[in-house]
Amino acid sequence: MDKFRGTGVALVTPFKDDLSVDYDALEQLVNHVSEGGVDYLVVMGTTAESPTLTGKEKLEVLKFVIAKNAKKLPIVYGLGGNDTQALVDKFKKFDIEVDAFLVVCPFYNKPSQRGLQLHYEAIADVAPKPIILYNVPKRTSVNMVTKTVIALSQHPNIIGIKEASGDTVVQAEEIARKMPDDFILTSGDDDLITPFIKCGGIGVISVIANALPGHTSDLVNAALAGDFSKSKVMANDMEEMLRLIFSEGNPTGVKALLQQMGIGNGKLRLPLVEASEALQAQIAEEYKILDTKKGMI
């Protein structure tokens, strides 16, 4: 589906000093990424600190983003978990208008491939909008293998996958060779955008696009246009910042970067904590370099 081609941004959830949701900063962020050229918004992915938000807060944030989505960008809502029946019940009751759901593999349970397939089929059977699978074994402890992905791609309500299975694109290449022509293959790793698109992907659901939406979108568009030399150079330009923002976990680093840009205060909810003073200093220095020498900010 063309609406999910290009750059999606996994929005962070800004907090006030008392750790309630900072809706003023969230509106500022939505405007920033929209004006920066991203193609769609992802609400309540892992980057949003969704495990520490209440069910009511998650829906309030979604409704707020929809209300502030001046450019009417497509919206993907993250709704996953490790209790299949509980998720089925949530999907049956879901009545907010979104364009698709991002559904992460069940975590901690470590289901078999058969269990994964049945889990997703049960959800897809009742979901009111299409499902995008999310494979991220470094967080879930289970890798959804290519055979399972291809089997699920046959379901009419499963339209694609956000693939983040490792440090290479080997599995993405396997999926690209075997998937249906209308199946969406998008990267879940900011540092693999160029090779991912080169092997058959159509974009990225990005963390760094919260702060650098223009540069990330230009990089993705260059790769989609087949200009891999340009996209590689652009990827190299943000390589150090990517290393920094993920060095103490996500979204710790990107929130520190956004704070440098005047968006939010860098606060997170436990068990996540703010960036160390050393990391904040490094991010601030790299931010100056990008802003003054490379014009990426």
Active-site residue numbers? Answer: 134, 162
Give the tokens for residue 274.
């703010």
| Distance, CA of 26 to CA of 147 (rounded, Å) | 39
73 CB neighbour count, 10 Å cutoff: 18
Three-class SS of 101-146:
EEEECCCCCCCCHHHHHHHHHHHHHHCCCCEEEEECHHHHCCCCCH
Sign of CA dihedral 150, 231, 215, 268: positive
The closest of 1, 3, 2, 8 to 187, measured between CA atoms, is 8
Q: Would you say 117 and 152 are in contact if contact means Cβ atoms under 8 Å apart?
A: yes
